[in-house]
Structure 1
Amino acid sequence: MKSSLPSPLTLVTLFALSLASTACKPATSDPQESDAEASTYYRDVQPIIAAECGGCHQAGGLGPMELSTYEQLVNFAELVDESIRAGSMPPWQPDPDCRSFAGERRMSEEDKQTVLTWIEQGMAEGDPADATPVEPPTLELEGVTEVVWSAQPYTPDASTPDDYHCLVMDIDFADETYLTGYQVVPGDPAVVHHIIFYLVPPSGADSLLAADAASPEPGYACFGSSGHGGQPMGVWAPGGLPVQFPDDSAFVVEPGSKLVAQMHYFTGGGVASPDDSQLQLATRAEAPGLRVSMPLLSGFFDIPADDPAYTVEFSLEIDDPQTKQIFSVMPHMHLLGRRIDLHRERDGEQTCIARIDDWDFDWQQFYDLELGDFVEVRAGDTLRYSCTFDNSAANQPIVDGEQRTPGPVAVGEGTLDEMCLHVVAMVEPYVEAEPTAACPGMLECAEQSCQPEDGLCFLDCSEQEPSACGDCLLPALNGCGQAFCPDEADAVVGCLALNCEADFTDVAAVRDCLAGVCAAEFQASWACYSPHLYAGECDAQFGPCGLEF
């Protein structure tokens, strides 16, 4: 998946610092009179800057300044010198001892020394004929067939620092559609914190459109999901470049599906303007050889106050009989994150998929595995992942001009909450077949074995279901709860975050927590919303699970 570059926040900060200092200028002597062996821009430096810095620092790029010409580089030479020496540019987080990724931005020690020596020698320009053509990463998605956005712009709620809002994209999928890539063009990069795109299946389309129509403003409030089922189709964070799926692969869209953008706006309580973010889609006409999916790995946890190295660990056992290949991964934490990793365990051996030992929230992206080095995942494997957080007083974020006092921090999507999450992009053989329900036998089990007031029995009926049932069941329960009993549903999520370090899709582990430490909260929530569930009022949430009450 050809994605890349991360957030411009650090670049903007460095740029501001550069304006406060005196920019480097060429030596007063004529650089053409320097020693014949001295470095020159065109022969020695330009190829390095174009290859290693051109992705951000080009016209229309994320960098706050261009570094495409001799004059531009000279003007910012002092900042370039400082950034190279500090190791802050070019930015690249993954540990090379884990694995190599496609398109790594690692300037070699030799290249660093070449640029630094050129600056020290006076920055001779040299002969333009010596230049080596280097094409920077493209900012354009190939094969765009659709450009979509919300039917009307939405103005984020500036009264709250974090505004979560779902926008229904103005596109209809009348036929099965094969998406081969996408690109996000944010309306206001200063407030668009991240976007998750969900493909809502036809079973949730009516309730989705009803929620959109019922809201007085474009879209509807949402948190954590679309609220109407569906799976992630793509993720965007500041700095994301065009995403192109591997050759002969596509995300398969079922006819009648709807595309929803779950927006997270971080206004900081300031002034917000209407957002007109757009999504560009690339499609293919024929069915692909490989189907793309993007499951999320995430778990419940709660970080104690003042703990400088709190680690959470999760595992997900794979029981899907279909073998898949991981081709890209996006690790994600927030401001307290320090270390994050993901590996596959098979027959007692571990294969590292991604590891970042010095997390920086400002530099996050999809990391594409090299072609031929995709990681196979099959039944019997276990995906294990962990995150380490620093919740000490010295590592607290600044809010309203003051550093926060350490307190417990639970899992959540707010900037001041935390997450231990991996978006795992996979491919598997595409087989045309009638869609099957994720939980085909669960409803019959519940009707024959469970009393309506027994929520734990309802969960027990999922134990013999396919793994896809776990992917949709707990989000469906939470969605139903949020629709009719939000306070009780929030109490369940809060208890799980505090007491249950389990992956969101691990129904058995979550069920144990709901039967134990979170029994009171779950029973109160179930008693509140189960009448709505059995009355069919939550069918939209349970539609992706194949459950209709």
Structure 2
Amino acid sequence: MQRITAIFPLGLLLVACGDVSEGSAGSDTAGSDTAGSDTAGSSTTGEAAAVTYWRDVKAVLDAKCVGCHSPGNLAPFSLASYADASAVASALPASLEAGTMPPWPPDAACGTYLHDRSIDDDARQLVLDWVELGAPEGDPADAPPPAQAPEPIAFDIDLQLPEPYTPTIAPDEYRCFLMPWPEEAETFVTALSVTPGERQIVHHVIAFAIPPDQAEAYRALDEADPDPGYLCYGGPSGGKINDGRVPWLGAWVPGGAPGDMPEGTGIKVQPGSLVAVQMHYHTYPGAGPDQSRIQIRTAASVDRVAVMMPFTNPAWVQGSEPMLIPAGEAGVVHSFAADVSNYLPLLFPDGGLQAGDPFVVHAAALHMHTRGVRGSLGLTGGQDTCLLDIPRWDFNWQGSYQLTAPVTVRPGDKLRLECEWDNTAENQPVENGVQQQPKDILWGEGTGDEMCLGIVYVTGT
């Protein structure tokens, strides 16, 4: 059975498929195949179209869709030009009306987040109207101005996977590659970017910092695998080493752009560390070799040291209080709340935070597997604050969300986590073309198991 890691470091991911890709906005006039024709800019009745691609729809597609739907990207078709968009226009309403595209799982009633790729009602209706009118092109002179490119990040570390690798395990393969950390002094990671080598098979990338005292154990894993790197379902060691104290540096998913950590924060990396890069390959026949690159910006110091803190019920993981999801049942809910202040010294062993100290949550994420229905993470006790609510869980769209207003957690506050699953016959995963039969499910690393995890990116106050 394939296995999947808890995607903790997506809490560092400040990206979205809706982010405008380089060169995607206002740059596809050559993509028109009808410019200059008698019908350009007109509806099928010969009257001026109320909605056209160039004047109205291009800006919406560039802002909300092209980050994933562009040539060579992971999405199954492109929306980067008029020719592309008009060819698939009839397929757009179903996902727009269902709310599955653009993918933006958080409930706006919970909070607001940076890089929001959700589409508002007016923009959605604009695209729907355009499709109904027959996808008129309009006049290329009406094209919106190119989106302002963000200020480029000055990276100082450039790492590449040691050698090209072609995945062989279908449909998903998790493989880790080790690279030495090049800095000779204590350093803080403040931004991270990934450039996939074979973009169509790279589903996500996660970078971990292996501390110096664990480096040899990880090198042994690499040496024991005859292929480049080593299989690592279940975390950077593949479940063979205690990964609980391994810092997470950052992550990438399709449509992602270079990501800054919250201003003034960074994740500490010690000299002598290794970088373990976990590649999730979505394998398909004929895929070429991948040799992805990772760029990192570092700082000698930061105002506030940051860490990623996973949160769940330890009794679920240990099995002393089984997180049972019975076969055939829908609406199965498990929840857990706890004061995590006593855990902080373990995350900040250098004394950065002491038990009982307040701390700040800058970003939040949730993780479940394929039978998840919904999940939420928030604070209760001293304050009732929603950090993240995913009302419709989608295993294929996992991420972390940076709060527009960071939340301070004070003594008396408890983190609260809740997850719901559907384990009926209709909601079973498909393996090797066969839909699985319901079975009792407990906590576990495999895709056929389940998890209920909250992940927060935290600093001191």
TM-score relative to the length of structure 2: 0.77
Distance 1:64 1:260 in 2: 30
Give 1:292's match in structure 2, choosing from 306, 311, 314: 306
Deviation string, structure 1 residues 117-171 (Cα, Å, up to 9, x no partner): 2333344433333332252887x9722222223434456563x876554421243
Deviation string, structure 1 residues 15-63 (Cα, Å, up to 9, x no partner): xxxxxxxxxxxx9956448445723333222222222223223455443
Q: Would you say the 8 A contact 2:13–2:252 is kept in 1?
A: no
What secondary structure, in the 3-state scheme, does the structure 1 residue paired with 2:384 have? strand
**Which residue does the alignment assign to 1:328?**
363
Rate the CA distance shift 1:235–1:87 in 2: closer, same or farther, 3 A: same
Q: Would you say the 8 A contact 1:202–1:256 is kept in 2?
A: yes
**Which residue does the alignment assign to 2:177?**
167
**Which residue does the alignment assign to 1:146?**
157
What secondary structure, in the 3-state scheme, does the structure 2 residue paired with 1:325 have? strand
Rate the CA distance shift 1:191–1:71 in 2: closer, same or farther, 3 A: closer
Residue 306 of structure 1, CA deviation: 1.0
Residue 330 of structure 1, CA deviation: 2.2
Question: Which is worse superposed, 66-75 or 247-256?
Answer: 66-75
Q: Would you say the 8 A contact 1:141–1:182 is kept in 2?
A: no
Alignment of 1:40-119 (within 5 A): 40-59=52-71, 61-119=73-131
Q: Would you say the 8 A contact 2:74–2:201 is kept in 1?
A: no
Q: Would you say the 8 A contact 1:290–1:428 is kept in 2?
A: yes
Distance 2:104 2:440 in 1: 30
Give 2:328's match in structure 1, choosing from 306, 323, 333: 306
Give 2:260's match in structure 1, choosing from 233, 244, 253: 244
Give 1:403's match in structure 2, choosing from 407, 426, 435: 435
The structure with the greater share of residues assigned to helix is 1
Rate the CA distance shift 1:143–1:311 in 2: closer, same or farther, 3 A: same
Q: Would you say the 8 A contact 2:191–2:298 is kept in 1?
A: yes
Distance 2:282 2:84 in 1: 32
Give 2:141's match in structure 1, choosing from 108, 129, 132: 129
Residue 336 of structure 1, CA deviation: 0.2
Deviation string, structure 1 residues 398-442 (Cα, Å, up to 9, x no partner): 12222111112222232222221223112336xxxxxxxxxxxxx
Residue 182 of structure 1, CA deviation: 1.3
2:447 aligned with 1:412: no
**Which residue does the alignment assign to 2:21?**
none
Code of the residue aligned with 1:308 in structure 2: it is A
Rate the CA distance shift 1:54–1:182 in 2: closer, same or farther, 3 A: same
Residue 262 of structure 1, CA deviation: 4.0
Distance 1:189 1:259 in 2: 21
2:294 aligned with 1:279: yes
**Which residue does the alignment assign to 2:396?**
362
What secondary structure, in the 3-state scheme, does the structure 2 residue paired with 1:409 have? coil
Distance 2:40 2:67 in 1: 31
Percent identical pairs in the alignment equals 36
Give 1:204's match in structure 2, choosing from 194, 211, 214: 214
Give 1:185's match in structure 2, choosing from 195, 200, 207: 195
Deviation string, structure 1 residues 92-123 (Cα, Å, up to 9, x no partner): 11111111222222322222222222333344
Code of the residue aligned with 2:16 in structure 1: it is L
Rate the CA distance shift 1:422–1:170 in 2: closer, same or farther, 3 A: same
Q: Would you say the 8 A contact 1:199–1:231 is kept in 2?
A: yes
Distance 2:91 2:199 in 1: 24
Deviation string, structure 1 residues 158-190 (Cα, Å, up to 9, x no partner): 3x8765544212433311122111123345566
Residue 341 of structure 1, CA deviation: 0.4
Residue 356 of structure 1, CA deviation: 0.9
What secondary structure, in the 3-state scheme, does the structure 2 residue paired with 1:118 have? helix
Uncovered stretches (5+) of structure 1, i.e. residues with no partner: 8-26, 430-549
Give 1:318's match in structure 2, choosing from 329, 337, 340: 340
More contact order relative to length (CA 8 Å, sep ≥ 6): 2
Distance 1:401 1:125 in 2: 40
What secondary structure, in the 3-state scheme, does the structure 2 residue paired with 1:126 have? coil
Distance 1:313 1:225 in 2: 27
Rate the CA distance shift 1:362–1:210 in 2: closer, same or farther, 3 A: closer
Rate the CA distance shift 1:123–1:380 in 2: closer, same or farther, 3 A: same
Alignment of 1:365-376 (within 5 A): 365-370=399-404, 373-376=405-408
User: Who wins on radius of gyration, i.e. which is larger?
Assistant: 1
**Which residue does the alignment assign to 2:415?**
383
Rate the CA distance shift 1:178–1:163 in 2: closer, same or farther, 3 A: same
Q: Would you say the 8 A contact 2:379–2:414 is kept in 1?
A: yes
What secondary structure, in the 3-state scheme, does the structure 1 residue paired with 2:91 have? helix
Residue 271 of structure 1, CA deviation: 8.5
Code of the residue aligned with 1:276 in structure 2: it is Q
Distance 1:38 1:272 in 2: 43
Code of the residue aligned with 2:262 in structure 1: it is P
Rate the CA distance shift 1:206–1:40 in 2: closer, same or farther, 3 A: closer
Rate the CA distance shift 1:236–1:413 in 2: closer, same or farther, 3 A: farther
Distance 2:40 2:291 in 1: 50
Distance 1:327 1:382 in 2: 16
TM-score relative to the length of structure 1: 0.65
Q: Would you say the 8 A contact 2:41–2:49 is kept in 1?
A: no
**Which residue does the alignment assign to 1:339?**
374
Indicate the RMSD between aligned Cα atoms, in angstroms.
3.4
Rate the CA distance shift 1:254–1:291 in 2: closer, same or farther, 3 A: same
Q: Would you say the 8 A contact 1:51–1:136 is kept in 2?
A: no
The structure with the greater share of residues assigned to strand is 2
Q: Would you say the 8 A contact 2:364–2:455 is kept in 1?
A: yes
Aligned residues: 406
Code of the residue aligned with 1:292 in structure 2: it is A
